[in-house]
Chains A and B, each alone.
Chain A
Amino acid sequence: GAVVSQHPSRVICKSGTSVKIECRSLDFQATTMFWYRQFPKKSLMLMATSNEGSKATYEQGVEKDKFLINHASLTLSTLTVTSAHPEDSSFYICSARTMSSYNEQFFGPGTRLTVL
Chain B
Amino acid sequence: SQKIEQNSEALNIQEGKTATLTCNYTNYSPAYLQWYRQDPGRGPVFLLLIRENEKEKRKERLKVTFDTTLKQSLFHITASQPADSATYLCALSGAGSYQLTFGKGTKLSVIP
Nearest CB in chain A to that of B103: its residue:
A43
Binary per-residue interface labels of chain B (74-112) against chain A in the complex, 1 for a CB within 8 Å, 0 otherwise: 000000000000000100010000111111110000000
CA distance A6 to B43 in the complex (A): 10
Q: Is the CB of B42 within 8 A of A104?
A: no
Bound Cα distance A74, B91 (Å) = 25
| A44: chain B residues within 8 A (beta carbon) | 44, 89, 100, 102
Q: Is the CB of A107 within 8 A of B49?
A: no
> Which of B32, B36, B102 is within 8 Å of A103, CB to CB?
B32
Knowing A43-B105, A46-B99, A97-B98, the reply to whether A105 touches B46 (Cβ < 8 A) is: yes
List residues of chain A with CB within 8 A of the CB of B103. Answer: 43
Shortest B71–chain A CB gap in Å is 18
Which of A14-22, A62-70, A81-89, A108-116 lies at the interface? A108-116
| A71 CB to nearest B CB, Å | 14
> 15 new A-B pairs (CB below 8 Å) besides A41-B9, A93-B43?
A4-B43, A34-B99, A42-B104, A44-B44, A44-B89, A44-B100, A44-B102, A46-B101, A49-B98, A102-B32, A103-B31, A104-B34, A105-B46, A107-B46, A110-B42
Smallest CB-CB A-B distances: 7 pairs: A107-B43, A43-B102, A43-B104, A44-B102, A104-B46, A103-B32, A110-B43
